[in-house]
Amino acid sequence: MIRKIISGNEAVALGVKLARVGVTGIYPITPQTTIIEKLAEMRAKGEIETEILRVESEHSAMAATFGAALGGVRAFTATASQGLLYMHEMVWWVAGSRVPVVMVVGTRAVGAPWNIWNEHTDFTSERDSGWIMAFASNPQEALDLTLQAFRISEDERVFLPMMVGMDGFILSHTKTNVLIPDQDQVDDFLPPRRQPYVIDPEDPIGMGNIFPPEGYMRLRESIDSALRNSEDVIKEIGREYNKKINPLGDYSTLNVSYKLEDADYAVVLMGAWAGDAMEAVDTLREKGIKIGMLRIRYLRPWSEKEIRSALKDKKAVLALDRSTSFGRGGGPLYVEIKSTISDVVPQIKGVVSGLGGVTVNKSDLVYIFNKFVEGLKDDVIWYYPKEVGKIELRTPRDIE
């Protein structure tokens, strides 16, 4: 095991290498492109045997990855933003086929208008597609979750695809100290690929025929059951990962608590701004305010039991979203949290911020958390940092 200073994208590429992936379907899109560039570089140097399939679109990237997985090969792809939306049809085909596949999403705003910077809307838009969905908060976790994703996805109690999200640029391009396991450690943790069935050209079967309604509904229920049951599998595999590969992390739970036990107030969020949020929590604690944080590491399965246990005795909970659920009065986390704890927590508030790459730093979070503790008048607000708040939206009609 060694330590290296690497970016989130480099950490994911190393995870794919260590998992001995057989096929990667690739199509470039910022900010995930350097993942597939790194894999192509490894292939050119003879460091991996992964077959790199360069295709003409993200839809084809997932289709090629899906085809390889159906053929019994460990398969991987990566995308972002419009690319994820373009492959949306195939994302559902993979889940409906119950075939293990791993994908990394370097999150990015969705157009229009065109924007290459970070937000979570692309990732959260797939929350009903039947994939297991984890979200990293630093490059170490991006590597760890990528390796665990293959093991979870290929577990016979699950047999579902899994995607790992990470904040575009903030994680994908930022370099930090990462603990990289040896190949022997990963081989001991990750057994040869397993899957429910393999399509073999030597043993042809009929595919693509219309499925009867009764069977279709049964299949949808099986996906829901597998996702719910995966919670215990994720914790079991997480504990084994801590034991065999990374003893410094804690993957024994789906989500991560920070100073929550004695907290009167709690903030719920997902992704890289958890680091600034923990510092903001410390700042408020120094003033005698008992506040803590719950970081959602798994959006699917949604661990209702774990989340209710963590938040049930709080005076108020604030959900901080870096994505939107238009017309729903808040972001996806706010909606999920409200449906989970509204009967045990008297006040649930929501803040939407950081969209399209708007910078939200520690001082912004200290301001938001203070306002939350003082009592927000509205259930949901859109927060703009001071300088951003001065900018007025201009439309083509305004310009005329």
Q: No. of H helices and E strands in the chain? A: 15, 15
Q: Please determine, for residue 393, whether its predicted confidence score (pLDDT) is greater than 80.
A: no
> In degrees rounded to 5, what are phi and psi of residue 168?
-60, 135
Query: Rounded to an integer, what distance in angstroms lies between the CA atom of residue 10 and that of residue 5?
Result: 10
Length of the chain: 400
Give the pLDDT band (50/70/90) at residue 210: confident
Q: What is the pLDDT of residue 201?
A: 84
Q: Are 365 and 277 in contact (CB under 8 A)?
A: yes
Residues 6+ apart with CB under 8 A from 130: 92, 95, 96, 160, 161, 223, 227
Q: What is the pTM of this model?
A: 0.96
Ramachandran area for residue 98 (φ above 0: left; ψ -120 to 50: alpha; else beta):
left
330: left (phi over 0), alpha (psi -120 to 50) or beta: left
Compute the C-alpha angle 74/77/79, nearest 5°: 165
What confidence tier does 52 reach under pLDDT thresholds 50, 70, 90? very high
Q: Residue 400's pLDDT is what?
A: 59
pLDDT exceeds cutoff 90 at 263 = yes
pLDDT interval class at 386 (50, 70, 90): confident
Quick one: average pLDDT of 109-128? 96
Question: 66: Cβ–Cβ under 8 A, 6 or more apart, which residues?
Answer: 75, 90, 93, 94, 97, 99, 101
Contact criterion met (CB below 8 Å) for 331 and 321: yes
Gap between the Cα atoms of 373 and 312, Å rounded: 17
Q: State the pLDDT at residue 254.
A: 98
pLDDT band at residue 185 using 50, 70 and 90 as cut-offs: very high
Please report the pLDDT score of residue 346 as a whole number.
96
Asked whether the beta carbons of 94 and 161 are under 8 A apart, the reply is: yes
Residues in Cβ contact with 90 at an 8 Å cutoff, skipping those fewer than 6 apart? 59, 62, 63, 66
Copy the structure tokens of residue 71. 């053929």
Alpha-carbon distance 189 to 169, whole Å? 30
The enclosing H or E element of 339 equals helix 332-341
Q: What is the pLDDT of residues 283-342, one digit of tens each?
A: 999 999 999 999 999 999 999 999 999 999 999 999 999 999 999 889 999 999 999 999
Among candidate residues 371, 397, 2, the one with its CA nearest the CA of residue 177? 2
* Amino acid at site 356: G
Q: What is the pLDDT of residue 388?
A: 72
Can you tell me the distance from the alpha carbon of 64 to that of 55, in angstroms, rounded to the nearest whole number? Answer: 8
Question: In whole angstroms, what is the distance from residue 151 CA to residue 11 CA?
Answer: 17
Q: Identify the weakest region by mean pLDDT among 84-98, 204-218, 358-372.
A: 204-218
